[in-house]
């Protein structure tokens, strides 16, 4: 298929669960699906261990799932987004099974549901401990079989073209050459930005590239300061760090220190557990996840985690697992409305790249796959009906460096679980010179500016110098230009001081 045959078709950037769901629900409208990797690798959805949250248990109810989501979000959830997405949980499970996902069931055919932190019921449908891979592979096969989807693998979107405030096309890079895909409709489903950190559980490519595309086009971002740190990454000298799923704590594993003492509630919300572990580590302790009570069942229930532990010389049935917080998920992202529309005409976002308001200040465990599928599905319906004629006007392509090695070390040092003003100001000063031409530096800078200006502690955002919660606080919004202007102001104040 020639490039000109793809002109004026909606373009989906990203082949994780959100992008795949969008591509399928756009049928019969022809769409183009771009992925920097392949349909079989690279997407963060493939790495999801725990499962997908849905109120499908006999003792559960959608209203309870909504309540748990809002409680975890610590006052910043969008109630309409929560109700809209969470209510689709049972239907999403059914749709995924129709695509070929095979969730674990007992001998009677009932779902075997897991329990994770801050959930009031067992509601995590899973495929042992590789749910994301199972779901994503099933969806990817459906996309391969779909005649309306033109898949372009090993193809990177490097810039959005705009004209008169609307999307006009996408610049792509393939095999060392650059081309313009003319289109009036683009969906960004590129995942999150936890890969900006050295201590991260995310795929190396999860550095906010989609956020940078949108920001440089002028789109508004929301709640960028809220980065979720998973409490229990395997404490090993590798990057990314393997996760020890929250589901392990749901099965009875306890958090202990080197003396064997428990020091926190293992099933408290993730932000609380991550802070407790980080404080304990900062006080000079070691932290372990003690799963010995699970015994030989561990290897059957969590085969992937068991293999990772064994590779590190740990037998979970006999030895506590050393753990540490790791950057895991970005609650913030491209600001979108209920239909996935950004502030740029023709630009949509779904999944972790978007900020729908579902997660607020802190994501409830296993809500991410649910959000990814449902928001992708909803955006696909919008793409199906959208006018998508692009333009040859405004086609200048300015390509920025996608990543630079110094950013992760700075993020770990100044923008980790616990933050304070002088560290954030120092980070901003270091990033300002690089942000105009470096995508990773730009998104790191925008996160840092949002964190600097939120002078309270709420959800996953903890300020040591502002430990109290501001009852009047609201969601935060930034564009690239406002963030750069604010960053220069903060840097100037630091120089003057």
Distance set, CA 143 to CA 20, 21, 48, 49, 79 (Å):
7, 9, 20, 22, 32
In this prediction, residue 42 carries a pLDDT of 64
Q: Reduced to 3 states, what is the DSSP secondary structure of residue 256?
A: strand
Fold that domain 3-191+331-385 belongs to in CATH: FAD/NAD(P)-binding domain (3.50.50)
- Could you read off the pLDDT of 411-423 as tens digits, one per residue? 999 999 999 999 9
pLDDT: is 216 or 269 the higher one?
Answer: 216
Give the percent of the chain with pLDDT over 70.
Answer: 97
User: How far is 248 from 232, CA to CA, in rounded Å?
Assistant: 10
Residue 396's pLDDT band (boundaries 50, 70, 90)?
low
Closest CA to 239 of 208, 278, 200: 200
Q: What are the residue numbers of the active site?
A: 270
User: How far is 129 from 126, CA to CA, in rounded Å?
Assistant: 7
- Could you read off the pLDDT of 442-474 as tens digits, one per residue? 999 999 999 999 999 999 999 999 999 999 999
- Could you read off the pLDDT of 296-343 as tens digits, one per residue? 999 999 998 999 999 999 999 999 999 999 999 999 999 999 999 999
What mean pLDDT comes out for the span 284-306? 94
User: How far is 438 from 79, CA to CA, in rounded Å?
Assistant: 36
Residue 271, pLDDT > 70, answer yes
Cβ 189 vs Cβ 13: under 8 Å: yes
In this prediction, residue 4 carries a pLDDT of 72
Residue 401's pLDDT band (boundaries 50, 70, 90)?
confident
In this prediction, residue 398 carries a pLDDT of 74
What mean pLDDT comes out for the span 182-202? 95
Residue 386, pLDDT > 90, answer no
ω into 28 cis (within 30 of 0): yes
What mean pLDDT comes out for the span 475-490? 97
In this prediction, residue 394 carries a pLDDT of 60
Cβ 439 vs Cβ 250: under 8 Å: no
Residue 356, pLDDT > 90, answer yes
What mean pLDDT comes out for the span 31-35? 97
User: How far is 425 from 496, CA to CA, in rounded Å?
Assistant: 13
User: How far is 13 from 210, CA to CA, in rounded Å?
Assistant: 8
User: How far is 204 from 209, CA to CA, in rounded Å?
Assistant: 11
Please give the span between the terminal C-alpha atoms of the chain, in angstroms, as a whole number: 60
- Could you read off the pLDDT of 102-154 as tens digits, one per residue? 999 999 999 999 988 889 999 999 998 888 888 999 999 999 999 999 999 99
- The CATH label, of 3.90.950.10, 3.40.50.10490, 1.20.58.100, 3.40.50.10860, for the domain at 400-496 is 1.20.58.100
Residue 11, pLDDT > 60, answer yes
DSSP 436-483: TTBHHHHHHHHHHHHHHH--S-BTTBEETTB-S--TT----EE-HHHH
Q: Phi/psi at 286 (nearest 5 deg)?
A: -100, 155
**Residue pointed to by tokens 């995924």:** 96
In this prediction, residue 393 carries a pLDDT of 67
User: How far is 57 from 115, CA to CA, in rounded Å?
Assistant: 11
The answer for residues whose C-beta is within 8 angstroms of residue 364's C-beta and 6 or more apart is 53, 68, 69, 72, 73, 118, 119, 269
What mean pLDDT comes out for the span 176-196? 95
Domain ranges (residues) in the chain: 3-191+331-385, 231-325, 400-496
What mean pLDDT comes out for the span 200-204? 88
Instruction: Please tell me what DSSP assigns to residue 432.
Output: T
pLDDT: is 379 or 49 the higher one?
Answer: 379
Fold that domain 231-325 belongs to in CATH: Flavocytochrome C3; Chain A, domain 1 (3.90.700)
Residue 496, pLDDT > 70, answer no
In this prediction, residue 215 carries a pLDDT of 97
In this prediction, residue 321 carries a pLDDT of 97
The token duo for 481 is: 């230009």
Q: Judge whether 3-191+331-385 and 231-325 match in fold.
A: no
In this prediction, residue 208 carries a pLDDT of 96
In this prediction, residue 240 carries a pLDDT of 84
In this prediction, residue 1 carries a pLDDT of 60
Closest CA to 323 of 230, 195, 226, 259: 230
């Amino acid at each position: 298929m020639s490039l000109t045959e793809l002109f004026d078709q909606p373009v989906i950037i990203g082949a994780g669960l959100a992008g795949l769901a969008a591509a399928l629900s756009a049928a019969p409208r022809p769409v183009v699906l771009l992925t920097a990797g392949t349909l079989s690798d690279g997407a963060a959805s493939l790495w999801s261990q725990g499962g997908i949250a849905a109120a499908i248990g006999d003792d559960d109810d959608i209203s309870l799932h909504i309540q748990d989501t809002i409680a975890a979000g610590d006052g910043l959830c969008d109630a309409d987004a929560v109700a809209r997405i969470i209510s689709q949980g049972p239907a999403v499970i059914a749709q995924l099974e129709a695509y070929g996902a095979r969730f674990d069931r007992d001998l009677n055919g009932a779902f075997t549901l897991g329990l994770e932190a801050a959930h009031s019921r067992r509601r995590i449908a899973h495929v042992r401990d590789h749910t994301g891979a199972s779901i994503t592979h099933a969806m990817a096969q459906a996309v391969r079989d779909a005649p309306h989807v033109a898949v372009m693998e090993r193809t990177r979107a490097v810039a959005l073209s705009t004209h008169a405030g609307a999307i006009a096309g996408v610049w792509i890079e393939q095999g060392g050459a650059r081309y313009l895909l003319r289109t009036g409709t683009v969906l960004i489903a590129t995942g999150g930005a936890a890969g900006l950190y050295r201590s991260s559980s995310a795929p190396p490519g999860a550095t906010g590239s989609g956020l940078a595309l949108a920001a440089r086009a002028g789109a508004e971002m929301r709640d960028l300061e809220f980065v979720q740190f998973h409490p229990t990454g395997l404490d090993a000298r590798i990057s990314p760090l393997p996760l020890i799923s929250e589901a392990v704590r749901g099965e009875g594993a306890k958090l202990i220190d080197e003396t064997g003492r428990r020091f926190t509630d293992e099933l408290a919300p993730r932000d609380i557990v991550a802070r407790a572990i980080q404080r304990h580590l900062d006080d000079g302790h070691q932290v372990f996840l003690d799963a010995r009570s699970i015994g030989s069942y561990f290897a059957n229930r969590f085969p992937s985690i068991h293999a990772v532990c064994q590779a590190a010389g740990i037998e979970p049935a006999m030895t506590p697992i050393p753990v540490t917080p790791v950057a895991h998920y970005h609650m913030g992202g491209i600001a979108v409305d209920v239909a996935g529309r950004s502030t740029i005409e023709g630009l949509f976002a779904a999944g972790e790249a978007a900020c729908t308001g579902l997660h607020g200040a802190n994501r409830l465990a296993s809500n991410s796959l649910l959000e990814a599928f449902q928001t992708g599905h909803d955006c696909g319906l919008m793409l199906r009906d959208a006018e998508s004629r692009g333009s040859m006007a405004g086609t200048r392509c300015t390509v920025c460096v996608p990543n630079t090695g110094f950013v992760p070390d700075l993020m770990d040092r100044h923008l980790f679980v616990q933050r304070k003003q002088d560290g954030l100001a120092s980070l901003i000063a270091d990033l300002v010179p690089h942000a105009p031409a470096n995508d990773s530096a730009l998104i790191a800078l925008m996160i840092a500016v949002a964190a600097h200006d939120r002078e309270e502690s709420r959800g996953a955002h903890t300020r040591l110098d502002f430990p109290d919660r501001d009852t009047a606080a609201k969601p935060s919004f930034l564009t690239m230009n406002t963030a750069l202007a604010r960053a220069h102001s903060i840097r100037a104040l630091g120089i003057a001081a």
